[in-house]
Amino acid sequence: VKAAMENPIDSPRLRELARGRKNCVVIISDHTRPVPSRDILPNLFAELREGNPDIDITLLVATGFHRPTTRAELEAKLGREIASSVPIVIHDCRDPEANVRVGVLPSGAPCLIDRAAAEADLLVAEGFIEPHFFAGFSGGRKSVLPGICDQTTVLGNHCSRFIDSGHSRTGILDGNPMHKDMIAAAKLAKLAYIVNVVIDEDKKTVAAFAGNYVTAHRKGCEFLLGYCRVKPAYADIVITSNGGAPLDQNIYQCVKGMTAAEASCKPGGVIILCAECADGHGGESFYKSLRDCACPRALYDEFMATPQDKTIPDQWESQILARILIKFRVVFVSRPEMKPIIEDMKMTYAASLPEAVALAKSWGKESVTVIPNGISVIVRD
């Protein structure tokens, strides 16, 4: 991280950007992201204060559409010292008083960001780059949209038309309409600098990229593509997971892992996903939309008929899960308490992986592909 910050991509050093600024707002990821903030932030703080010893630093937690991060989660993520000594603002996308309009996105959606970011003298972001199932990759501009945007902006960007685009897929930036909006949001927010890392399966940093929010992020994405791109191994049954905690905490997050299996599963095949789901379904409207629909196809068609400005919370996750369920059977392996929720959401419950495989084979499926961590790979020919 330190080496990346000493050699920023297409940007002055952060210490130079800090000179003459009264304050700096640092956007950080929330409790759902395994970003090694304990490693990144001390380096970031040191360089800010090297350039300006008196600069006031505030952390802005990019919760996006997620629930607020708790105090205990902040301490676990940041360490008690940082969590108790640096002012922290937790973004609330649903509070109209907390967000201000800064412009309009290419999609036509209004761009509203957290007031703390809009009023910052210097706005920077930390984060990590991983494959993302509709934004192409996480990191970079995603710290702003959806990270610190108002719900109106997030809903407009996550509309059914964009989710339906063949370019809104894992590992794709060029031609991706969601990415285009996100880049515009970062520009409107005046995001000046990023520090993004790539982590391995043990959550250890393997590479870091600092500097311009477009080009430094792109370099990181290119590195990641070489690091985790795999060709599909098509099979009747594809077994995967969401990579363990914290990203397997609910069904909502696990849709990401399913999309890797989607790219390797034969038509009419079976996707088996294993996850604890300690946090349940992960979204009330997400859960209810699948529970209450006649079938996944009817739900998908309903979403496609929904105008951009009528997008509802979690519609995008429901739309992607419906897309998968139209093409495949999904067997979800989880704790017993999840059984009624899983079945309500048009999936099949299994108490163990052997039980799930036996069930799939009873349906006449034979060949098997295993993707141990569905969110860590980019499956592409």
Q: Would you please indicate which residues are annotated as catalytic (active-site) residues?
A: 66, 132
CA angle 116, 314, 139 (to 5 degrees): 50
Cα separation, 166 vs 319, in Å, equals 14
Contact in structure between 51 and 22 (CB atoms under 8 Å): no
Contact in structure between 229 and 378 (CB atoms under 8 Å): yes
User: Which one, of 211, 229, 113, lies nearest residue 171 by Cα?
Assistant: 229
